[in-house]
Structure 1
């Protein structure tokens, strides 16, 4: 076989192995986030293309959603160039920042700007909690404080019975917390009255701890990235057709 024929065979082999996405998910993520992309590529179902746009949307505590709107609009505009089937504003902390009203405003902003259906991370988290029958939760996060999470959950009728915010200094510190450390934190901070655990943040190894925590505590676990993969797959079922989600994502994907 000559070199040209070998090159052609190699190219055809790549094409045979590559399956174009049947559904396209667009994510707007904080610029500092380094874990959502590899986690979504690993855990998303076959046929779901995951396309990411970074923006400076985590902001400082004093930034309002109005302050962040230009960055959100720009990211949403750019995502429309690849014609996503849906867009997720994928920053749990920011989507909780101004309660349910602020969250709804973010979704409306993206939908009006792009003419695409949109969701927020916290919206899909709450949907997942309701699917699992969670009404009293333990909240674990790397944030400075869980104040916004507690207030948002209270608005939608979910009580926080214990919360642990690790007060990490930066996003780089978020990613250093290992899955086993999240498991240990859940064990140490569980409460008998809690009917589930919420692992809040998109830029952590929490998703890798979901199954181990559920086995250790006998309670359901919801994590930001897990909930978005689950919720997006449900909404894109028409494009995806039959799909399977990894059992490591816990009872949310096995039972719902």
Structure 2
């Protein structure tokens, strides 16, 4: 049954060592909305690049099954998989297959992926040529997979930039930076400054938006300053997950939860 967005209970599935999605979503959520987290072991082997997971295998992994079961019995109105890389490598087919497999464990609670929420947010914001801001621990295979995924969902042109951590991380392999704690060191002011610099590049088409696709990349506090400076929508993975969950919970009712302090996305309806 539809509920008012202001009373939504949002479930999220997050990898074992990622504190960022729940931290950011809690801070963005309006009063009355609760966020409930279940964790699963990241399928990336230690000291390796992540290159994807079969959707059914991930949905049926014991700790994912346990999380879906517990969030469903808890009474969440929806459950989001906050692990966009798995979708990027698997394509939109991964999203459909994961959701179908996960449904068997979630007691009827709707399941969606962060990538599904990002796709809906891009469409609702009419963004087709975003500046793609990649987390510092993403590597070339993830760059290519993300661009291919976006192409499949109708984003025809992107320009990609990677956030730079600085010289203290030069000795750490990029794909290990998150596990080494790099996410704790990211300053939203630095995010703002690097994105503004990357946005204004001579002899390149002006992007019509900014997309930050990494759930574990802290960027919430940079969204509104960037929108004010650049004059285009700014969409992050965690922002999209919250927006999609609120709008989904309020399906059939007026989407009366507008959080303008967290970006223009929250003024938009689901496409």
TM-score by length of 1: 0.83
What RMSD, in angstroms, separates the aligned Cα atoms of the two structures?
Answer: 2.3
More helix by share: 1
- The alpha carbon displacement at 1:40 in A equals 1.8
SS at match of 1:112: coil
Which of these residues, 33, 56, 64, is aligned with residue 72 of structure 1? 64
Consecutive unaligned residues in structure 2, runs of 5 or more: 1-5, 164-173
2:159 & 2:52 partners in 1: Cα distance?
Answer: 27
Higher relative contact order (CA 8 A, sep 6+): 2
Query: CA offsets per residue over residues 15-50 of structure 1, 9 Å max, x none?
Result: xxxxxx833211101111112222222211222221
Tell whether 2:213 aligns with 1:200: yes
Query: CA offsets per residue over residues 146-199 of structure 1, 9 Å max, x none?
Result: 222111100011034311234463322134221112112211222533111101
1:116 & 1:242 partners in 2: Cα distance?
Answer: 20
1:138 & 1:58 partners in 2: Cα distance?
Answer: 28
Which one is further off, 207-216 or 157-166? 157-166
- Show the counterpart of 1:148: 145
Assess, with a 3 A threshold, how the Cα gap between structure 1 residues 206 and 240 changes in structure 2: closer, same or farther: farther
Aligned residues between the structures: 236
1:68 & 1:255 partners in 2: Cα distance?
Answer: 31
The answer to whether the Cα contact below 8 Å between 1:58 and 1:91 also exists between their aligned partners in 2 is no
Consecutive unaligned residues in structure 1, runs of 5 or more: 1-20
TM-score by length of 2: 0.79
